[in-house]
Amino acid sequence: MADEGEDRDIGGQTEPILVVSDAEMQAIGAALARLLAPGDVIALNGTLGCGKTTLTRGLLHELGLEEEAPSPSFAIVQAYEVPEVRLPLAHVDLYRLDDEADMEELGLDDYLYDGALVIEWPERMGSRLWPHALVLTLSMDDPAGPRTITATLPPQWKEKWPFQ
Ligand SMILES: Nc1ncnc2c1ncn2[C@@H]1O[C@H](COP(=O)(O)OP(=O)(O)OP(=O)(O)O)[C@@H](O)[C@H]1O
Ligand SMILES: [Mg+2]
C-alpha cells in the first residue's frame, strides 16, 4: 500500500496552493525566482486568463526587471538579459504555435546554457517539454475569483519546493 510520500516520489502533484489575488500570484513568481538556477524550466499550464503571465511578471520583477513584462503572446519568445535581470530568462508563450515541430526553430535549448525558461501553454509542445521542467497547473472556477496552483516536482525541485 502506497503512503502519501511514496505517491509524491512517483511524480504526483502537490496539494493545491490557494492564490487569492493578482498580488499573491506575483509573490509566488517572486518566490520561485529566488530559487531559479541556469538550466531550469518552469512550465505554466492553465486556461486563458488564469494568471500565467501574472506569475511570470512577479518572477521577472524579483529578477530585477523594472518595467512590467509584456505578454509574449505575439512575439512568442521575449528574452531578458543581464543586467536588466540577474539571471537570463526567456519568457515564452506557445499559444500561437500551430505545429509542435516549429519548436525547433525557436531554439529554446540555447537559453538553458546560462539562463532559464518560463513557458506558457507548454501543452503546445507536447512531449517535447524537458523532463526536468517544474510543471505548475493553474486553475480557476471564475475569472474574478481565486486561483489554485498544483505542482509536479522534478527531482531537483523536490528539495527546494518552498510552499509546503
Ligand atoms: N490569483 C488571482 N486572483 C484574481 N485574479 C487574478 C489572479 N491571478 C491573476 N489574476 C488576473 O487574471 C487576469 C489574467 O491574468 P494573466 O494575463 O496573467 O493570465 P494568463 O494565464 O497569462 O492568460 P493567457 O492564457 O491569455 O496568456 C489578469 O487580470 C490578472 O490580474
Ligand atoms: Mg499569458
Cβ pair 81, 107 in contact under 8 A: no
Return the pLDDT at 101: 86
48 lines ligand 1 (CB under 6 A): yes
78 lines ligand 1 (CB under 6 A): no
Low-confidence ranges of the chain (pLDDT < 50): 1-10
52 lines ligand 1 (CB under 6 A): yes
Query: 64 — alpha (psi -120 to 50), left (phi > 0) or beta?
Result: left
Q: Where are the domains of the chain?
A: 22-158
Distance 91 CA to ligand 2 centre (A): 10
Rg (the chain; Cα; Å): 15
CATH number assigned to the domain with residue range 22-158, chosen from the 4 options 3.40.50.2300, 3.40.50.300, 3.30.70.870, 3.40.640.10: 3.40.50.300
Return the pLDDT at 11: 56
Q: Tell if the pTM clears 0.95, that is, is over it.
A: no
Cβ pair 164, 25 in contact under 8 A: no
Q: Looking at ligand 1, which residue's alpha carbon is closest to its atom 1?
A: 21
Return the pLDDT at 100: 86
Distance, CA of 109 to CA of 22 (rounded, Å)? 30
